[in-house]
Chains A and B, each alone.
Chain A
Amino acid sequence: MRRRTFLTGLGALGTMGLVGCGSSKSDGEYVADPGSLQVYSAQHENLTKAWVEAFTAATGIKVQIRKGNDASMGHQIVAEGSASPADVFLTENSPAMTLVERNKLLAPLEEETRRQVPANLTPSSKAWTAIAARSTVLVYNPSKLPKADLPKSLMDLAAPEWKDRWGCAPGGADFQAIVAGMLAGQGEQKTKDWLGGLKTNARALQNNIATMKSVNAGELPCGVIYHYYWYRDQAGTKEGSGNTALHYFRNQDPGAFVSLSGGAVLAGSKKPAEARKFLAYVTSKAGQQVLVDSQSMEYAVGTGVTSTPALPPLNTLQAPPVDPFTLNSDKVTTLMTDAGIL
């Protein structure tokens, strides 16, 4: 009897092993296919897939996506150095891109590709280009915070009267990009003071969605997020945003910061021609239309392409003028660490 139980166990073990090995090979770990263009993407999965499918359909060039998030993928490319299999890097926010750029791992961008995007949406270094944009907004619950009491500036939220009255997701790359924008526009001292105010006043939530839902549930009067989380929820069930409205700071306020998602070709690319073609496609009219149709609710940045009509036009947001190249993610991390937020 005991022997039989044991043998059954062994049999089960063998089967599990076979199933396990089989499936871990099929989906499993990343092995760069030498026949495909390697796109390291921290952008939303759906949008990246939509771009890749349309690009492959248009050019016949095969693409393999490696999915990650801004900070860790940026650091990963730096860690992999010139041996990185990456040909193209796509980010959600620009600080991850400038991290790679400062390590001199990006190839210069072609003139034609750069010209597909308005000059104010490309960095002075010309090493990468915007592929999409997102705006900072204040999501608020009008029943807890009447419109008349809304803050005039993001900087106001550091004042004592805002204690325990707002939330944000300071651990994420999204919010760190906003702080990087503030650092570039307002300087180190003001940013430091503001982060001190954040530490005392704000509730730290795990991400933008949790922030929005807390405001929606009335747990917090308002929160700092990016616009597209709200518009996506509104386009869907409104479950997480039905009780809320958006406030745009405008007036070149740090709270009107528009963050650029970046795209670049890596200097170590083994397929530079195809990589450049991919970026040219993503920023082209057709590529930007793919973004609009993907319902990601991000802003299109290509000239001559209109973003989803639900969004207020990008040029009406009065974003502060910031050269995305000057956004320094390491400095932001240090400041936030010093403020006791990280």
Chain B
Amino acid sequence: MPASSDLRVDAVIRYDEPTAAVPVVRSTRTPWYVMLAAILLAALVVAPVLVVFGQATSAGSAEASRLLFRPRTAELLRNTLLLVALTVPVTVLLGCGAAWLVERTTLPGPGIWRTLLLTPLAIPAFVSSYAWTSMLPSVQGLGGAVFVTALAYYPFVFLPVAALLRALDQGHLDAARSLGLTGLGAMLRVVVPLQRPAVAGGALLVALHLLAEFGVLQMMQYPTFTTAILQQFAVGFSNAAGSLLAAVLVVLCLGFLVVEVPLRGHARIARLGPGSGQRPVAHRLGAWTVPALAALAALVGLAVMVPAAIVVRWLARAISSGAVEAGPLLAATGSSIGLSVLAGLAATLAALPGAWLLHRYPSRLAAVLERVTYVASALPGVVIGLALVTLAVQWARPVYQTAALAVTAYTVLFLPRAMVAWRSGLAAAPTELIEASRSLGVSGLGTFARVVLPLVLPSALTGFVLVFLATVTELTATLLLAPTGTETLATAFWSASDELDYVASAPYAAAMIALSAPLTLLLRRQILDQR
């Protein structure tokens, strides 16, 4: 790898872009191995989608349309869309309301509330659904599903909105007020447009999670595409009927991704003039302090405290009745941790070529490869699982029923988490250091290993942990792909709670919460980092 030519190009481009805050190092020559790796990984991520469509049409178009255009599909479509239409607005309301109270008012103890409001992320939705149904069997159907999923998923809206509100510049509001707008007017004209991308992004995340949700809806006896696909798999393996439903789910998913773009808006609000932004002035709550505190307490109580308390109660019963078997619990914890470590490592490694490409050799192709990763990873676990079963049984029999296949699914599903972490890490590695290293004659790979890697490893570790935690509570792909005889915490919990054995499920639920709890602290940093 001759380093000099790269450097010459870099220098020219740098002089061409004197205003760029961070000089972007571009190269006309992308290392072929990085490009190849990135392309192969993008292909791996897209393969499941192609397989699902292939399998769906395998029975011929007449059979496919017979299976597709039937009342059941309409029923599932209606159920799925109704769930999304009801839950998403509730999460937006809860997320934005809570974020405003915490970041923009004189609410006492914002630091504590910020943490508490994120804790629902530590309790898998199917665990809180189990907790509620075990105490109140009437929490069921659409109502129950909206109740449980809204409480479980509002942090997806809260997190980005709180981060943006925290970064809000009071100068914008002051300017609006000085131009004659009322307080409310300033809010509507300045704050709301600024929040649009955060709200739209959060709502999209909630919608995608709802499409993928299985555990909660099965417990609530509310059939959607995902539950119907798993049911078809149970009776017919990877047949055309199941794959067709999966294909519809893929289309829905892509539809949401497209709809989100205009909702996000194109408004860009920038600061002009010298100085740094001002911290926003907090709204005085006054007499509203107590109701606000009560509302937040109720939210956290319903979303976290009550489900956690119920799990603890069942756990206590399990321990006192001697129903906790250490052997299976340890085995499940072991396979969960084992699979999650492998998934974390695989996804972290797999995300590197793409992130590296974007960082060092930005091009249209690199951007497309990155987008592709995101789109495919927005697909529900059940679709990826079904596709990989089909793929393995038809073309790669030896990997069928191996942990490798499950790890592949996790990698496809959680790649963006690792990608985001790498990108923020690479952004922190100044290009000057890379150039210095290259100018000292160190090769591209050598520079990566000796200069870049030590600087970005903390971020990579964050990515690893995010993938690890997501894998611990992954249920649907695991149900389809875990090698027979391997129980993870999620599947062991599921088989016990599916038989409504609340006592036997409790230890697994508690173990998942214990493993997931650190996620909250990790994400809390993301809000704080905004300042």
Residues of A within 8 A of B219 (CB): 206
How close is A128's CB to chain B, nearest CB, in angstroms?
20
A28, B337: Cβ atoms under 8 Å? no
State which of B64-72, B88-96, B363-371 sits at the interface with chain A. Answer: B64-72
CA distance A183 to B515 in the complex (A): 49
A173 & B235 in contact (Cβ 8 Å cutoff): yes
B403 at interface, CB cutoff 8 A:
yes
When the two chains form their complex, are residues B337 and A16 in contact, meaning their CB atoms are under 8 A apart? yes
Given that A171-B235, A340-B71 are contacting pairs, would A79 and B393 also be in contact in the complex, using a CB cutoff of 8 Å? yes
B339, B345, B484: which contacts A67 (Cβ < 8 A)?
Answer: B484
CB distance from A100 to the nearest CB of B (A): 13
Minimum CB–CB distance from A297 to chain B (whole Å) comes to: 15
Across the interface, name the chain A residue whose C-beta is closest to B497: A206
A26 interface residue, CB < 8 Å from B? yes
CA distance A209 to B497 in the complex (A): 11
Nearest A residue to B236 via CB reads: A333
Contact B485 A6 (CB under 8 A): no
Q: Check B234–A203 contact: CB distance below 8 A.
A: no
B235/A29 in contact, CB under 8 A? no
The answer to whether A207 touches B499, judged by C-beta atoms less than 8 angstroms apart, is yes
Tell me which residues across on chain A come within 8 A of B23, comparing CB atoms.
none
A1-41 interface bits toward B, Cβ cutoff 8 Å, 1 = contact, 0 = none = 01001100110010011011111111111100000000000
Within 8 A of B (CB), among A105-128: none
Is A268 an interface residue, CB under 8 A from the partner? no
A27 CA to B72 CA, complexed, in Å: 40
Q: How far is the CA of A30 from the CA of B399 in the complex (A)?
A: 12
Question: Does B422 have its Cβ within 8 Å of any Cβ on chain A?
Answer: no
Question: How many residue pairs, one in A and one in B, have C-beta atoms under 8 Å apart?
Answer: 141
User: Considering only CB atoms, which chain A residue lies closest to B483 in the complex?
Assistant: A29
A209 touches B500 (CB 8 A): yes
Question: Cβ of B484 and Cβ of A342 under 8 Å apart?
Answer: no
Query: Which residues on B sit within 8 Å (CB–CB) of A173?
Result: 234-235
B residues 317-363 near A (Cβ < 8 Å) are 330-331, 333-335, 337-342, 345
Q: Using a CB-CB cutoff of 8 Å, which residues 198-230 of chain A contact chain B? A: 203-207, 209-210, 213, 217, 219
On chain A, the number of residues with a Cβ less than 8 Å from chain B's Cβ atoms is 56
Residue in contact with A28 in the complex, picked from B221, B341, B403, B458, CB distance below 8 Å:
B403
Closest residue of chain A to B390, judged by CB?
A: A79
Question: Please, which residues of chain B bring their CB within 8 A of the CB of A13?
Answer: 461, 464
Does B485 lie within 8 Å of A206, measured CB to CB?
Answer: no
Distance (Å) between the CB of B67 and the closest chain A CB? 7
Central interface residue in B221, B228, B485, by most chain A CB within 10 Å: B485
CB of A47 closer than 8 Å to a CB of B: no
Is B232 interfacial (CB 8 A cutoff)? Answer: yes
Restricting to B212-236, which residues have a CB under 8 Å from any CB of A? 218-219, 221, 223, 228, 231-236
Interface size on B, residues (CB 8 A): 50
Q: Mark A170-211, 1 if CB is under 8 A from B, else 0.
A: 011100100000000000000000000000000111110110
Instruction: Give every chain B residue within 8 A of A71 (Cβ-Cβ).
Output: 234-237
User: Interface readout for B35-78 with A: 1 if CB under 8 Å, 0 if not?
Assistant: 00000000000000000000000000000000100111001000
B338 and A213 within 8 A (CB): no
Query: Which residue of B67, B218, B334, B402 contacts A27 across the interface (Cβ within 8 Å)?
Result: B334
Q: How far is the CA of A77 from the CA of B290 in the complex (A)?
A: 63
User: Is A144 at the interface (CB under 8 A from chain B)?
Assistant: no
A72 at the interface (CB under 8 A from B): yes
**A29-B403, A66-B485, A176-B235 known; A337 vs B338 contact (CB < 8 Å):** no
A6 touches B70 (CB 8 A): no
Q: Is B400 an interface residue (CB 8 A)?
A: yes
**B237, A72: Cβ atoms under 8 Å?**
yes
Tell whether A80 is near chain B: CB-to-CB under 8 Å: yes
Contact check, B337 vs A206: say whether CB atoms are below 8 A apart.
no
Name the residue in A66, A72, A219 with the highest tally of chain B Cβ atoms < 10 Å from its Cβ: A72
Distance in angstroms from B248 CB to nearest chain A CB is: 15
By the criterion CB–CB under 8 Å, are A21 and B236 in contact? no
Interface hub of A25, A203, A342 (most chain B Cβ within 10 A): A342
Within 8 A of A (CB), among B476-531: 483-486, 498-500
Q: Mark B393-433, 1 if CB is under 8 A from A, else 0.
A: 10001001111000000000000000000000000000000
| B484→A337 contact, CB < 8 A | no
In whole angstroms, what is the CA distance A173 to B236 when docked? 11
A287 in contact (CB, < 8 A): no
Contacts A30-B484, A206-B221, A213-B500: A21 and B233 contacting too (C-beta < 8 A)? no
Interchain nearest-CB distance for B177 vs A (Å): 41
Contact B233 A24, beta carbon cutoff 8 Å: no
Chain A proximity of B482: nearest CB distance (Å): 8
Is B255 interfacial (CB 8 A cutoff)? no
Shortest Cβ distance from residue B377 to the other chain A in the assembled complex, whole angstroms: 23
Contact assessment for A171 and B234 in the assembled complex, using a CB-CB cutoff below 8 Å: yes
Given known A24-B334, A29-B483, A67-B484, contact A342–B231 (CB-CB < 8 A): yes
Provide the residues of chain A in CB contact with B499, threshold 8 Å: 207, 209-210
Q: Do A342 and B461 have beta carbons less than 8 Å apart?
A: no
Tell me the bound Cα distance from A217 to B72 in angstroms: 29
Which of B221, B241, B334 is within 8 Å of A342, CB to CB?
B241
Beta-carbon contact of A72 and B334 below 8 Å: no
Say whether B458 contacts A9, CB under 8 Å: yes
Task: Collect the chain A residues with CB atoms within 8 Å of residue B401's CB.
Answer: 29-30, 76
Min CB gap A98→B, angstroms:
14
Most B Cβ at <10 Å: residue of A24, A217, A340? A24
Please, which residues of chain B bring their CB within 8 A of the CB of A330? 236
Instruction: State whether A30 and B485 are in contact (beta carbons under 8 Å apart), knowing that A71-B237, A340-B72 are contacts in the complex.
Output: yes
A325-342 to B contact mask, C-beta < 8 Å, 1/0: 000011001001110111
* Contacts A29-B402, A80-B400, A338-B70 supplied; 17 other A-B pairs, CB < 8 Å: A9-B458, A16-B341, A24-B338, A24-B403, A26-B331, A28-B486, A29-B483, A66-B485, A67-B485, A72-B233, A76-B237, A79-B400, A204-B223, A206-B498, A333-B239, A337-B67, A337-B72
The 10 closest A-B CB pairs, nearest first, are A23-B334, A24-B338, A75-B237, A29-B483, A20-B338, A20-B341, A340-B72, A27-B331, A171-B231, A20-B337
Could you show 10 A-B contacts with beta carbons less than 8 Å apart?
A19-B338, A20-B339, A21-B342, A24-B335, A30-B401, A66-B485, A73-B484, A75-B237, A79-B393, A333-B241
